[in-house]
């Protein structure tokens, strides 16, 4: 089972990605901010992190930094950001080997990106 962690303070985004990811047979864990995401990561092996950039308590950059430096995990991280124009932010994220995905996004395109990073566990299920 491929496990995906979604961290976003916008419940609608979490919900729509959950709909799509479960449709492609990913196992989904949700968090409302970076800190909750870290808590889950400590308890649970995760294959991919899908995170929002702006979140209360701990934002996308903080989460990525914690994953790379504290948890020493080398899993793919995708960060959704409405502020791709902020060059310094993008640079900092690339330092932690983070894929930045611009908002607004199309779920199908995001799914393609996720599928490229970790192939869908149910490719045949998606094809059906």
Partner 1 sequence: MNRLLATLGRFLREEEVPRWFGLTVVLIYLVGLGAVARFGIVQAKQESTEFFQQGHDYAVRLLAERIRSLDDDVPGDERWTRTCQRLLKDFATNVPTRSARVIGNRKFLASLDPADVGRAAGERKSAESRWDGLDVATLPPADGQPEMRWVRVSVPVRRGETHAEFAASESESTGEETPETAPASIDVEVVLPMAPVDGHSLAAYASMLSIALVVLGALFVAYRCLREQLRGVSRIANRLELHRDRIEDNLGLLRISDQLDGVTRTWNDLIDLTERLRSAVQRTEANEELCRVLQKSGGGGAIAEAVNALPDAFVYVAEETRFEFLNTAACRLFGWSPTDAKRMTLNDAASNGAGGKALELLRAAAQSEGGFEPRSEIVTVDDGLNRGTSSYRVSVIPVPGTRHQGSCVMIARDVSQQIRAEKAHEEFIAQVTHELRTPLTNIRAYTETLSSGMFEDPKVTAECYNVITKETRRLSRLVEDILSVSQLEVGTIDLKIDQVDLKSLLSEGVRDVRGIAEEKNIDVQLVLPAKLEPIRADRDKLAVVVINLLGNAIKYTPPNGNVVVGCQMAASSVMITVKDNGIGIDASELAKVFEKFQRGSNPEVQKESGTGIGLFTAREIARRHGGDIELISEKGKGSTFMVRLPHVESRASAMSTVS
Residue 84 DSSP class? T
Residues 55-114 that bind partner 1 (CB under 8 A): 56-57, 82-83, 103-108
Q: Using the rule CB under 8 A, is 12 a contact of partner 1?
A: yes
**Euclidean distance between CA atoms 80 and 49, whole angstroms:** 11
Report yes or no: 83 and 60 within 8 Å, Cβ to Cβ: no
**Euclidean distance between CA atoms 105 and 82, whole angstroms:** 9
Using the minimum distance from each CB to partner 1, give the nearer residue, 24 or 96.
24
Q: CB of 115: closest distance to partner 1 in angstroms?
A: 14
Q: Using the rule CB under 8 A, is 19 a contact of partner 1?
A: yes
Q: Using the rule CB under 8 A, is 125 a contact of partner 1?
A: no
* 105-109, long-range: CB < 8 A, 24+ apart: 105/80, 107/16, 107/17, 107/20, 108/20
Residues that bind partner 1 (CB under 8 A): 10, 12-13, 15-17, 19-20, 23, 54, 56-57, 82-83, 103-108
């Amino acid at each position: 089972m491929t496990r995906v962690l979604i961290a976003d303070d916008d419940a609608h985004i979490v919900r729509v990605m959950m709909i799509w990811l479960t449709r492609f047979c990913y196992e989904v864990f949700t968090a409302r901010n970076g800190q909750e995401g870290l808590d889950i990561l400590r308890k649970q092996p995760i294959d991919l992190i899908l995170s929002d950039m702006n979140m209360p308590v701990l934002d996308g950059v903080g989460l990525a930094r914690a994953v790379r430096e504290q948890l020493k995990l080398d899993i793919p991280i995708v960060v959704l950001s409405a502020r791709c124009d902020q060059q310094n932010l993008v640079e900092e994220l690339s330092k932690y080997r983070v894929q930045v995905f611009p908002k607004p996004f199309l779920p199908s395109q995001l799914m393609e990106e996720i599928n490229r990073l970790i192939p869908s566990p149910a490719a045949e299920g998606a094809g059906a």
